[in-house]
């Protein structure tokens, strides 16, 4: 399988850029905020320009651990170091953490094994494992589908262990895998759907495929007006919006006018901005959509004006370079 280094690098940086662009909008209703077109500071967290949040922090923690090989115990401890000691934070403190993730890390601290730390109840299907999973998609890209997805599921289950979250991470990572293997967006999505429907054709996953993810996998989602999509912290909403934005922008051969009368070009930047400005949970939807956009278009398509302002850019670049050498 052909591996595109630039797209793998783009996937990583796309997460950080989408997160950074969304941080100033978090918790604000779409009608209460000016749409983001360039990086900005401030917002409810009152963070400086270029700040990224827990989405990027836990992504970086996962990559940091995988640089030394695959060890779920070590991954869990890296996540705990983030919570307890601000490992891989923008400004040496944690200013955002999801409740499900917090509970899981408290279990890890108490000595629970990784496969028992994440909540597996239906009410624990936030987007906290989806937002940080992309290093696993890159690291295991050359493995069989079975081994690939089993490891994706294990890493998700450190914090989010319900089958719905496992499937969401699986769909996302399979799409990333197709994209970094240099498939065009439509082919990558078509291949992903076929693999998902084949692999998850058994309990406890089949129920989720037949019900929860049916609109996404059937294509019905993409016949709707994008305004009907909800970009909340629910893992299904986040995944639906990110995939919708990627496919919507890939299908647009020419620029178009959005609801505000702004001309939108079909490219990486417009895909990420579409995710961030959709509403709901902008930093995480931006991070998840940013990972897809980066994997689709590549690092060289990320605006330099975004990259220049990212806090700790040199530290991230060093980690990304080491990580990509390992795969």
Whether omega for the bond prior to residue 204 falls within 30 degrees of 0, making it cis, is yes
Beta-carbon contacts of residue 173 (< 8 Å; ≥ 6 apart): 133, 134, 136, 137, 148, 149, 152
Residue 186 — φ and ψ, nearest 5°?
Answer: -65, -40
Cα–Cα distance for residue pair 20/71, rounded to 1 Å: 28
Q: For residue 280, what pLDDT is reported?
A: 83
Residue 96 — φ and ψ, nearest 5°?
Answer: -155, 130
Residue 264 — φ and ψ, nearest 5°?
Answer: -115, 125
256 three-class SS: strand
The candidate with the shortest Cα–Cα distance to 265, out of 37, 34, 106, 110, is 37
Region label for 316, one of left (φ > 0), alpha (ψ between -120 and 50) or beta (otherwise)? alpha
Cα–Cα distance for residue pair 294/106, rounded to 1 Å: 33
Name residue, tokens 């989010």.
160
Domain containing residue 127: CATH number? 1.10.4080.10
Tokens of 146: 């079975």
Tokens of 242: 């990110």
Number of domains in the chain: 1
Q: For residue 178, what pLDDT is reported?
A: 98
Q: For residue 254, what pLDDT is reported?
A: 53
- Residue 183: which domain range? 5-326
In the chain, which stretches have pLDDT less than 50? none
What are the pLDDT digits (tens) for 192-249? 999 999 999 999 999 999 999 999 999 877 766 565 688 899 999 999 999 999 998 6
């Amino acid at each position: 399988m052909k591996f595109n280094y630039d797209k793998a690098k783009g996937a990583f940086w796309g997460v950080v850029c989408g997160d950074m662009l969304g941080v100033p909008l978090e918790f604000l209703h779409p009608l209460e905020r000016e749409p983001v077109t360039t990086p900005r500071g401030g917002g409810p967290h009152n963070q400086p320009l270029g700040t990224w949040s827990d989405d990027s922090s836990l992504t970086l923690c996962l990559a940091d651990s995988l640089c030394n090989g695959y060890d779920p115990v070590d991954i869990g401890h890296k996540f705990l170091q983030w919570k307890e000691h601000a490992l891989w934070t923008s400004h040496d403190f944690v200013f955002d953490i999801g409740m499900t993730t917090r509970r899981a890390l408290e279990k890890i601290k108490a000595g629970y094994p990784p496969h028992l730390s994440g909540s597996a109840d239906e009410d624990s299907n936030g987007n906290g494992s989806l937002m940080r999973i992309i290093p696993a998609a890159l690291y295991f890209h050359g493995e069989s589908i079975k081994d690939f997805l089993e490891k994706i599921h294990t890493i998700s289950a450190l914090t989010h262990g319900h089958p719905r979250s496992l499937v969401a991470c699986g769909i996302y990572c399979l799409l990333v895998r197709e994209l970094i293997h240099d498939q065009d967006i439509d082919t990558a999505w078509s291949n992903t759907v076929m693999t998902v429907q084949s692999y998850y054709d058994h309990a406890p996953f089949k129920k989720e495929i037949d019900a929860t993810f049916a609109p996404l996998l059937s294509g019905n989602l993409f016949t709707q007006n994008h305004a009907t999509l909800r970009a909340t912290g629910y893992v299904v909403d986040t995944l639906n919006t990110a995939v919708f934005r990627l496919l919507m922008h890939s299908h647009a051969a020419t620029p178009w006018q959005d609801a505000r009368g702004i001309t939108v070009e079909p490219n990486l930047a417009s895909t990420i901005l579409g995710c961030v400005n959709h509403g709901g949970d902008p930093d995480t939807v931006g991070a998840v959509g940013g990972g897809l956009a980066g994997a689709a278009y590549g690092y060289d398509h990320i605006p330099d004006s975004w990259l220049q302002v990212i806090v700790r850019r040199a530290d991230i670049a060093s980690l990304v370079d080491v990580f990509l050498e390992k795969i």
